[in-house]
A and B are shown apart, each in its own frame.
Chain A
Amino acid sequence: DAGITQSPRHKVTETGTPVTLRCHQTENHRYMYWYRQDPGHGLRLIHYSYGVKDTDKGEVSDGYSVSRSKTEDFLLTLESATSSQTSVYFCATGTLGNEQFFGPGTRLTVL
């Protein structure tokens, strides 16, 4: 089981405030991913990273930014949170063409 932690695990915030979610891995995996999970939509890719300082957009990237300054850390930022960003956010890590391992998730509520 990949060592992946996410913080915070729960957060309630107000519309318009910035929010940063953190993912930390101990497996030295090159690839890291941020997904959101919503009923009826399954897991949707927000952003991914293929190396330090190398990131790219996924299918639902609007309103989100990411940064990766170290192999082990991948940050997801909501610059100005909206109610439509209320969701469960999962970080995942992996290697190209191979399995992805998921963290425990962050439950975010935007009021």
Chain B
Amino acid sequence: QKEVEQDPGPLSVPEGAIVSLNCTYSNSAFQYFMWYRQYSRKGPELLMYTYSSGNKEDGRFTAQVDKSSKYISLFIRDSQPSDSATYLCAMGSGTYKYIFGTGTRLKVLA
């Protein structure tokens, strides 16, 4: 079993839809959680960074962490074609090492 599991997709949604992206993990020591967006042939771009449990909102993006269920989510409201990308989750326990999910491909259809 991988430490971090992420559905690879692709996930196709119509423009304006609410998108839910998720990761599950097995290591209860993880406290730091990140979401990255990666366009084709580009480097990952940090979208959200959260510590411990709870929600964090930034514009159309909301990150949610449920440590009791070992489950994190990224919600995208009013999705746009420009949101079409691969979304990576990453998590760590406060040391140098972060574990990345394999990414979910998202397509937002105009």
Contacts and interface: CB of A to CB of B under 8 A. Distances in A.
A99 B42 contact: no
B28 to A, nearest CB: 17
Contacts, number: 54
Nearest to B48: A99
Most B C-beta atoms less than 10 A away, residue of A33, A42, A103? A42
Given A96-B95, A99-B34, A104 B88 contact: no
Interface residues of B, number: 23
A52 to B, nearest CB: 15
A46 to B, nearest CB: 12
B44 A90 contact: yes
Given A42-B102, A43-B44, A96 B88 contact: no
A44 B92 CA distance: 14
Interface of A: 1, 31, 33, 40-45, 48, 50, 56, 58, 90, 96-105, 107
Interface of B: 6, 32, 34, 36, 41-46, 49, 88, 90, 92, 94-98, 100-103
Given A42-B101, A45-B97, A97-B32, 5 more contacts: A41-B102, A43-B100, A90-B43, A97-B94, A104-B42
